[in-house]
């Protein structure tokens, strides 16, 4: 979320989930909301039932497009073109919020100049969306008071993900859709506690609370607090660490993640891991990373420990222990304390509440939050459970939407961005655009969900969605076994003929170990966040084996044949 | 602000509020079965009838929008009699024994019948609601305890937005079905389990606990926690059988908090509501493991494993410097754990190589 910290001064949803139902215009871009965030989708459905206008920008037809006023089915990776063209329209038609721009932002002129050449007509050629639709969307967005933007990985999992965020933020700033309920800019987090992990400082650039490690004042504060000298040099992000595995990186401590199943370009990564001296892995389950681990520490899962998660809307909520862990497994925090002490630390935390208290002590935005206070709120009758940061002191009720009394950064920063084509485009050898994503029924590496018989019944097999016209060219029929190949590797899985994808594009879920999407994906990382380009790369599909006549294949995707919403002939 | 008289007291209300909204705010209890704050009122079950001065018929509080000057009674003899009669009628084709009607979720109808002291002997007709086979893994439907209040159907349409289930049949044959009586797996159903959650009589149930013969919900202990899947952070209750797993506790099912009290407004998705089997799965790691000289992983004690882990990590730093050591933290873990990992990297090794997977 570096992009948002940069422009607004806080990297989180500006608004609350509960405000979505009152929005009048919802711009959903790069988010398969009903599958990745079903509860947010419910709120959006509620808004649409009440008359809100929903516009979905996504290369793929998704459930949400079936209730959308418009589906902007853009060519993969052309988001910046679309967004800059919208900004172009807003500027050209003078729909900007002058007062807001003058008082609350800086750098508008640069963006104005940057988008001057992004005319809707040119955008139509590149994005595939008609100039009229771009104009209409820009006008609706700019002129609706309660207009909110919602986006997820679809926007950030690109080599230029941060650019996409800037381009969106420019729209928000030029229209002044900020600091009010049901508007703003809302990144929907993929994993339960991504927000919390970032907030807590598990990032190479920031101490807890987005305080930069290279800011001398901050460093001095933490040196005092922790009583040791600290490094002023930002560390490597995960993408960089993975690329130097076995070279610069010679040892790893890996907690609760399967890097081998989740990181892109995994075949290269595995070569590197063989050259690593030592890996400690701490997890609840065996996973692919375990093949390289020297020590494996058995960890408790969420239901077996105390603590907090922070959700996408900055809400800190309690995790409570319901059952005992199996065997000798222990909560991660207990293991961390023991391990640190073995390595010379002198940590004496007796429970997660104490750890939390230490964390907030040095972060002004979190200072008013404590386990104790959360307990009190949860036990009370009034309001919604949990507490949203900023919450600077013990009497503060938390913050529903950000930037109400002016933008937290001081001035909102306009950032001009220009379109750079995706790092890899389809060519003669690899004629298709591959994107990857999540489905409703599984979760990331699926170590949890695939151990669930029911979810497996609904969606048990890996699949790739292929447009009927592309399938015909390759002699592929619905249910056939195919091989998907990219410059990095290949996997075999079943083909679904689907009009959810555009001609020339294919899509596959990233959850299945037998057809690991990350064998295929590109590890070119975003220059700022290091988030890899999971979303688009060039690929080719080849028939391996036809599906026997007597077999049926139900991929658990109800809309696969036709695709929801508008049905285009191939 | 308009005013009306409620049980003899003058109260204010906002435009559009129902009599039920106002009464609940005043702390008055009106029985309801088909009502759900997330849904358009249906007025189907008749359990919430109240009296409005000057009106011959009683009116459903859940559906009746308040008007200024109304004089409303929520308690009196006539209302009591109505409740008794209504319950007695429901009881003519609703199982009377908890062991029968309450195999999983609670049956509020039985509670209500007891509360209003309803006569249970007004005759008995075998329930006639049609049943259907369904191979879906999660949702069980018991037509015998269904009162056809359509709360599940309305939830599926109005909140989940997929209209997978419908009312079918007429009169006492009315039942909950799907288009062409298909399995939920072959419909638009997204297996959110909302229909189970809103059902007031436990006719909709979770299938797995039933198949496993686990304890009914009332015998379980609820622990409020936060879902560990996506970034919405739904609140839910882990329903635990404290005696399960030899006293270590076993999660039997997951239920929603009441609507309006949490950020998810009582809603959950298929993962949050049903994907908890991994917690007690046989594949869980239960012992520390270390790799032997022969390249094989062996179980060991915590003491030994920690010793080896510390030695190994410190060894890397000794040989290659702190810049050679990477810490991969996890967005699956708690705030506190993430804080400790970054503190470990920074304070112990004076380096900032700490990040988590999918930092999006
Ligand atoms: S599980 Fe959800 S989607 Fe399926 S029928 Fe029930 S309410 Fe509808
Ligand atoms: S219940 Fe579903 S929507 Fe809610 S946090 Fe869990 S995964 Fe996300
Ligand atoms: S709750 Fe009012 S009629 Fe059912």
Does the pLDDT of residue A394 top 70, yes or no? yes
In a domain, A423, yes or no: no
Write down the pLDDT at residue B340: 96
Tens-digit pLDDT profile for residues A298-313: 999 999 999 999 998 9
Q: Is the CB–ligand 2 distance for residue B225 below 6 Å?
A: no
Ligand 2 centroid – CA B268 distance (Å): 6
Nearest C-alpha of chain B: how many angstroms from A95?
A: 32
Residue A552 has pLDDT above 70, yes or no: no
Residue B165 DSSP SS3: strand
Give yes or no for residue B229 CB within 6 A of ligand 2: yes
| A103-117, A256-270, A384-398, B136-150: the lowest-pLDDT one | A256-270
Confidence of residue B342 (pLDDT cuts 50, 70, 90): very high
Query: Who wins on pLDDT, A354 or B144?
Result: A354
Given this model, what pLDDT does residue A569 score?
34
In this structure, which residue's CA is closest to atom 2 in ligand 1?
Answer: B192
d(CA B106, CA B255): 12
Which residue ranges make up each domain of chain B?
2-75, 108-211, 220-274, 289-356
Q: Judge whether residue B360 has pLDDT over 80.
A: no
Tell me what percent of the residues of chain A surpass a pLDDT of 90: 48
In the predicted structure, residue B356 carries a pLDDT above the cut 90? no
Q: Is the pLDDT of residue A514 over 70?
A: no
pLDDT-derived band at A6 (thresholds 50, 70, 90) equals confident
For the four alpha carbons of B97, B99, B101 and B102, in that order, the dihedral sign comes to positive
B345 pLDDT above the threshold of 90: yes
**Exposure letters A25-35 (e unless 16+ CB within 10 A, then b):** bbbbbbbbbbb
Residue A424 lies in a domain: no
In this structure, the strands spanning B165-168 and B297-299 are: unpaired
The H-or-E segment that residue A201 falls in is none
Q: What value does the mean pLDDT take over residues A71-99?
A: 93
Quick one: fold of B2-75?
Ubiquitin-like (UB roll) (3.10.20)
Q: Which of A344, A317, A535, A331 is nearest to A424 (CA)?
A: A535
Same domain, A375 and A472: no
Is pLDDT at A449 greater than 70 in this prediction?
A: no
Q: Which of 258-297 (B) contact A at CB < 8 A?
A: 261-265, 267-271, 274-281, 283-291, 297
The topology (CATH level 3) of B108-211 is Alpha-Beta Plaits (3.30.70)
Q: Is the CB of B62 under 6 A from ligand 3?
A: yes
Cα-based angle A184, A410, B355 (whole degrees, multiple of 5): 70
Atom nearest to B268 CA in ligand 2: 1
Q: Domain check: are A367 and A442 in the same one?
A: no
A173, A101 contact by CB (below 8 A) = yes
Among A203, A278, A327, A513, the residue to mutate for chain B (most B Cβ within 10 A): A278
Looking at per-residue pLDDT, the higher value among B165 and A409 belongs to B165
The pLDDT of residue A77: 84
Return residues 326-345 of B near A (CB < 8 Å).
326-345
Highest mean pLDDT among A373-387, B177-191, B286-300: B286-300
**Confidence category of residue A124, pLDDT binned at 50, 70, 90:** very high
Q: What is the pLDDT of residues B55-76, one digit of tens each?
A: 999 999 999 999 999 999 999 9
**Residue A235 belongs to a domain with what CATH number?**
3.40.50.740
Helix, strand, coil percent content, chain A, rounded in steps of 5 = 35, 20, 45
The verdict on residue A505 lying in a domain is yes
Cβ atoms of B96 and B120 closer than 8 Å: yes
The pLDDT of residue A555 is above 60:
no
Q: Domain span at residue A228?
A: 194-311+315-388
Chosen domain end from A128, A158, A190: A190
pLDDT of residue A516: 65
Higher pLDDT: A187 or A450? It is: A187
Picking from A155, A190, A225, the residue at the C-terminal end of a domain is A190
State yes or no: pLDDT of A54 exceeds 70. yes
Is B314's Cβ below 8 Å from some Cβ in A? yes
A241 and A330 together in one domain: yes
Does some domain include residue A437? Answer: yes
pLDDT of residue A310: 93
Average of per-residue pLDDT values in chain B: 91
Of residues A539 and B152, the one with the higher pLDDT is B152
Facing A255 at nearest CB: one of B234, B328, B350 = B328
How does residue A287 score in pLDDT terms, banded at 50, 70 and 90?
A: confident
Q: What is the mean pLDDT of the segment spanning A43-64?
A: 92
Class of domain B220-274: mainly beta
ipTM of the complex: 0.91
Question: Rounded to an integer, what distance in angstroms lies between the CA atom of residue A531 and that of residue B300?
Answer: 37
pLDDT at residue A493 in the model = 86
Say if A512 falls within a structural domain. Answer: yes
Tokens matching residue A56:
């979905």
| A516 and A380 both lie in a single domain | no
State the residue for tokens 């700019």.
Answer: A142
CB pair distance less than 8 Å for B355 and A45: no
Number of domains in chain A: 3
Residue B220 alpha carbon to ligand 2 centre in Å: 22
* Bond into B235 cis (ω within 30): no
In this prediction, residues A118-122 reach a mean pLDDT of 96
Contact B285/A321, CB-based, under 8 Å?
A: no
Q: Ligand 1 — pocket residues by CB below 6 A?
A: B 139, 155-156, 160, 162, 164-165, 184, 189-195
Judge whether residue A345 has pLDDT over 70.
yes
Which ligand lies nearest the alpha carbon of B43? 3
Which structure tokens are listed for B152? 């599940």
CA atoms within 13 A on the CB side of A22: 12
| Ligand showing the shortest atom-to-Cα distance for residue B163 | 1
Per residue in A152-183, pLDDT (tens digit) is 855 555 456 688 889 999 999 999 998 899 99
Closest by Cα among A553, A540, A445, A535 to A494:
A553
pLDDT classification of B123: cutoffs 50, 70, 90 = confident
Is residue A330 scored above 70 in pLDDT?
yes
Domain check: are A436 and A348 in the same one?
Answer: no
CB B152 within 8 A of CB B165: yes
**The predicted structure's pLDDT at residue A5:** 75
Q: Which residue has the higher pLDDT, A557 or A126?
A: A126
Residue A388, φ and ψ in degrees, nearest 5: -100, 130
- The mean pLDDT of B341-347, rounded to a whole number, is 95
Given a cut of 70, whether residue A30 has pLDDT beyond it is: yes
pLDDT (mean) for A494-500? 85
pLDDT at B181: 81
Report whether pLDDT(B117) > 70. Answer: yes
Q: Which of A170, A190, A210 is the last residue of a domain?
A: A190
pLDDT digits (tens, 9 = 90+) for A201-238: 999 999 999 999 999 999 999 999 999 999 999 998 88
In a domain, A570, yes or no: no
Q: What share of chain B is helix, strand, coil (3-state, %, to 5)?
A: 30, 20, 50
Selected residue with higher pLDDT from A130 and B185: A130
Q: Is the pLDDT of residue A470 over 60?
A: yes
pLDDT average, residue stretch A393-415: 85
A272 shares contact with chain B (CB less than 8 Å): no
Say if ligand 2 is within 6 A of residue B271 CB: yes
Q: Is the pLDDT of residue A353 over 70?
A: yes
pLDDT at A510: 72
pLDDT confidence band for A525 (50 / 70 / 90): low
Of the pLDDT bands very low, low, confident and very high (cuts 50, 70, 90), residue A36 is confident
Q: What pLDDT score does A98 carry?
A: 92
Which pLDDT value is given to residue A535? 61
* Of A364-368, A416-420, A469-473, A528-532, minimum mean pLDDT range: A528-532
Query: Cα-flanking dihedrals φ and ψ of residue A90, to 5°?
Result: -60, -40
Number of C-beta neighbours around residue B11 at 10 A: 18
How far, in Å, CA of B326 to CA of A275, rounded?
14
User: What number is the average pLDDT over the span B294-298?
Assistant: 93
- For an interface test with B, the pick among A189, A202, A447 (most B C-beta atoms closer than 10 Å) comes out as A202
Residues A186 and A280 in one domain: no
Residue A453 clears pLDDT 70, i.e. is over it: no
pLDDT at A137 over 90: yes
For the residues A384-401, what does the mean pLDDT come to?
Answer: 89
Q: Are residues A23 and A157 in the same domain?
A: yes
Residue A88: predicted pLDDT: 96
Nearest Cα of chain A lies from the Cα of B200 at a distance, in angstroms, of 22
Torsion of CA A345, A348, A350, A351, to 10 degrees: -40
Residue of A20, A38, A199 to mutate, testing the B interface (most B Cβ within 10 Å of its Cβ): A38
CB B319 to CB A338 under 8 A? no
| CATH number of the domain within which A183 lies | 3.40.228.10
């Amino acid at each position: 979320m570096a992009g948002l910290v940069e422009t607004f001064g806080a990297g989180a949803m500006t608004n609350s989930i509960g405000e979505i139902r009152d929005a009048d215009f919802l711009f959903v871009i790069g988010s398969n909301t009903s599958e990745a965030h079903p509860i947010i989708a419910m709120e959006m459905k509620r808004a649409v039932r009440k008359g809100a206008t929903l516009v979905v920008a996504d290369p793929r037809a998704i459930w949400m497009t079936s209730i959308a006023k418009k589906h902007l089915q853009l060519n993969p990776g052309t988001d910046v073109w679309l967004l800059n063209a919208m900004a172009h329209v807003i500027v050209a038609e003078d729909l900007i919020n002058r007062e807001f721009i003058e008082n609350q932002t800086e750098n508008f002129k640069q963006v104005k100049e940057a988008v001057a050449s992004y005319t809707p007509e040119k955008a139509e050629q590149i994005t595939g969306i008609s100039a009229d639709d771009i104009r209409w969307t820009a006008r609706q967005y700019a002129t609706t008071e309660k207009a909110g933007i919602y986006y997820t990985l679809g926007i950030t999992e690109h080599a230029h993900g941060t650019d996409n965020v800037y381009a969106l933020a420019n729209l928000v700033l030029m229209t002044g859709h900020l600091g009010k309920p049901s508007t703003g800019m809302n990144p929907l987090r993929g994993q339960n506690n991504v927000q919390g992990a970032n907030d807590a400082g598990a990032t190479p650039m920031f101490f807890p609370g987005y305080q930069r490690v290279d800011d001398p004042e901050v460093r001095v504060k933490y040196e005092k607090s922790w009583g040791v000298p600290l490094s002023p040099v930002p560390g490597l992000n995960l993408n960089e660490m993975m690329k130097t595995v076995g070279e610069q990186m010679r040892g790893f401590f890996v907690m609760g993640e399967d890097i081998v199943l989740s990181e892109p370009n995994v075949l290269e990564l595995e070569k590197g891991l063989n050259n690593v001296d030592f890996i400690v892995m701490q997890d609840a389950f065996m996973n692919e990373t375990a093949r390289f681990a020297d020590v494996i520490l058995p960890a408790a899962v969420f239901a077996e420990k105390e603590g907090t998660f922070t959700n996408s809307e900055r809400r800190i909520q309690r995790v409570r222990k319901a059952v005992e862990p199996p065997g000798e497994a222990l909560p991660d925090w207990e293991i961390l304390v023991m391990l640190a002490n073995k390595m010379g630390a002198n940590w004496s935390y007796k429970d997660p509440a104490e750890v939390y208290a230490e964390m907030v002590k040095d972060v002004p935005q979190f200072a008013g939050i404590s386990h104790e206070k959360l307990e009190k709120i949860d036990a009370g009758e009034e309001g919604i459970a949990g507490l949203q940061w900023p919450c600077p002191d013990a009497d503060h009720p938390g913050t529903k939407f950000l930037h109400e009394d002016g933008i937290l950064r001081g001035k909102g920063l306009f950032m001009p961005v220009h379109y750079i084509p995706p790092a890899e485009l389809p060519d003669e050898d690899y004629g298709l655009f591959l994107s990857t994503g999540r489905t409703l029924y599984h979760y990331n590496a699926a170590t949890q969900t695939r151990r669930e018989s029911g979810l497996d019944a609904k969606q048990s097999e890996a699949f790739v969605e292929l447009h009927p016209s592309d399938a015909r060219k390759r002699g592929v029929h619905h249910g056939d076994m195919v091989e998907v190949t990219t410059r990095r590797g290949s996997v075999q899985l079943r083909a679904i003929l689907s009009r959810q994808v555009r001609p020339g594009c294919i899509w596959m879920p990233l959850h299945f170990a037998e057809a690991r999407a990350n064998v295929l994906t590109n590890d070119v990382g975003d220059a700022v966040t290091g988030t890899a380009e999971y979303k688009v790369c060039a690929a080719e599909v080849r028939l391996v084996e036809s599906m026997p006549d007597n077999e049926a294949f139900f991929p658990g995707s109800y809309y696969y044949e036709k695709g929801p919403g508008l049905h285009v002939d191939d | 602000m308009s005013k009306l008289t409620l049980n003899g007291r003058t109260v204010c209300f906002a435009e559009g509020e129902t009599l039920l909204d106002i009464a609940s705010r005043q702390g008055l209890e009106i029985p309801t079965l088909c009502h759900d704050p997330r849904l358009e009122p249906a007025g189907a079950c008749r359990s919430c009838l109240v009296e409005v001065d000057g009106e011959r018929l009683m009116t459903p509080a859940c559906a009746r929008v308040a008007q200024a000057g109304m004089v409303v009674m929520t308690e009196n003899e006539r209302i009591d009699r109505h409740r008794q009669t209504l319950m007695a009628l429901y009881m003519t084709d609703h199982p009377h024994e908890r062991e029968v009607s309450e195999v999983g979720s609670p049956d509020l109808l039985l509670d209500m019948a007891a509360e209003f002291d309803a006569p249970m002997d007004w005759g008995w007709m075998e329930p006639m609601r049609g049943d259907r086979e369904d191979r879906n893994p999660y949702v069980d439907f018991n037509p015998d305890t269904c009162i056809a209040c359509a709360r599940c159907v309305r939830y599926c349409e109005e909140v989940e937005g997929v209209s997978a289930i419908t009312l079918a049949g007429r009169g006492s044959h009315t039942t909950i079905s799907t288009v062409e009586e298909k399995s939920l797996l072959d419909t638009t159903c997204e297996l959110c389990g909302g229909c189970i959650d809103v059902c007031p009589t436990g006719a909709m149930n979770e299938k797995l606990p039933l198949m496993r013969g686990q304890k009914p919900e009332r015998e379980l202990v609820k622990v409020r926690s936060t879902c560990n899947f996506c970034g919405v952070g739904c609140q839910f209750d882990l329903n635990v059988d404290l005696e399960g797993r030899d006293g270590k506790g076993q999660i039997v099912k997951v239920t929603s908090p009441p609507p309006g009290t949490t950020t998810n407004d009582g809603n959950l998705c298929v993962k949050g509501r049903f994907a908890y089997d991994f917690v007690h799965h046989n594949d869980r790691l239960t012992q520390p493991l270390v790799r032997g000289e022969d390249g094989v992983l062996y179980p060991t004690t915590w003491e030994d494993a920690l010793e080896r882990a510390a030695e190994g990590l410190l060894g890397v730093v000794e040989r290659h410097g702190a810049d050679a050591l990477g810490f991969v933290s996890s967005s699956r873990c708690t705030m506190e754990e993430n804080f400790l990992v970054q503190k470990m990297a920074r304070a112990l090794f004076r380096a900032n190589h700490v990040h988590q997977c999918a930092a999006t």
